[in-house]
Amino acid sequence: MATSQAPAAREVNAVDVAICRAVQLMFAGAHADAARLVDDALANAPAGNAGWLLPLEPLLRVTASPGIWAQALTRLRTRAA
């Protein structure tokens, strides 16, 4: 009889979680709260490529409200440099 093992737990990326929650906030009309949530997650994230898809995520509509997303986008650019 073969034994089954649970798959190894994957590490949860806090920025990805924040982006998912930000989408929920966007649907609720809380655009500034969504941007602030993602910016906070980026501020606390370890060095790396977390959040790189932020400007491309269609559900967040970042390009439609550049002023609201300016801080998060600036932080993302700084992380990429």
Q: What is the pLDDT of residues 5-31, one digit of tens each?
A: 656 556 779 999 999 999 999 999 999
Residue 9, Cα to own-chain centre: how many angstroms? Answer: 20
At 81 the pLDDT is 76
Residue with token string 């491309």: 56
Q: What average pLDDT does the structure give for the chain? A: 90
pTM over 0.75, yes/no: yes
| pLDDT above 90: residue 51 | yes
**What's the rounded Cα separation, in Å, for the pair 33 and 39?**
10
End-to-end CA distance of the chain: 53
